Amino acid sequence: MSTTAITILGTGVWGSALGTLAQVNHHEVTVWSRRGPLTLAESLAQAQVIVVAISMKGIPGIAAQLQQLELPHSTIIVSATKGLDSTTLRTPSQIWQATFPNNPVLVLSGPNLSKEIEQGLPAATVVASPNQAAVETVQQLFSSDCLRVYTNPDLLGTELGGTLKNVIAIAVGVCEGLKLGTNARAALITRALPEMIRVGTHLGGQAETFFGLSGLGDLLATCTSPLSRNYQVGYQLAQGNSLTQILDQLQGTAEGVNTTNVLVDLANREGIPIPIARQVHRLLKGRITPQEALESLMDRELKPESCDLL
């Protein structure tokens, strides 16, 4: 394989893990952060592939800065951010596509807990875009003995799977923190999947994508591991800690908190039913207790399961 010049934007755990994977495959990796020694222009001078692994709140600003640099149209932009923009309600890839309409924009997403990736434990992920040549290029860049990379043409569905599951992970963390048992956790995760699909297909994703690695796979990983920051937010809320206290002590960003707020705004605008996410939203806003959120879900109108399943 020929050497590719890759720039990783972001030095968090996920960005560092992706950089390590690329270096193992003998690619030339440059890492940029706001506190680093390189300017943004210097870090991108030779970049053939840009991997964006920063938090959602930083995406609009970074996109605007990159736009001033006039990237070559051949430069591939890979979004590894999971979230929704609070101002525009757009996903990261939608921001990148609007900013760089002539560049290939891809999404990298899957059941990839960063600490396990760093330890070299086996995992699989998805790189998504309708641009087949670009996804095959990125597939080769990161595939290794410990990471199997699949491709998918459904960019938006892949991205939304990884974004929406963070909201559900908070709910499952609450479930675990209240010690409600395995039955309750299984029921919650199973009922959450149709909710994710309902939102994702309404916004343009393909239903089948949500049954793959970036949907169900990521949902299972994030909802069953204490390594998940979003899971930890829910778990600690159930222990009686305040959201402010939890976020102050958390290492890294729990994107599910912001995503929940934006998702409710989006669902209100589009008329999408999101009963689980609405209870998470009310809990995060301090309007209900974890116990009240559970009671609200259990008291919903009885109906056939098939009305929500595809």
Residues identified as active-site: 165
In the 3-class helix/strand/coil scheme, how is the chain assigned residue by residue?
A: CCCCEEEEECCCHHHHHHHHHHHHCCCEEEEECCCCCCCHHHHCCCCCEEEECCCHHHHHHHHHHHHCCCCCCCCEEEECCCCCCCCCCCCHHHHHHHHCCCCCEEEEECCCCHHHHHCCCCEEEEEECCCHHHHHHHHHHHCCCCEEEEEECCHHHHHHHHHHHHHHHHHHHHHHHCCCCHHHHHHHHHHHHHHHHHHHHHCCCCHHHHHCHHHHHHHHHHHCCCCCHHHHHHHHHHCCCCHHHHHHHCCCCCHHHHHHHHHHHHHHHHCCCCHHHHHHHHHHCCCCCHHHHHHHHHCCCCCCHHHCCC
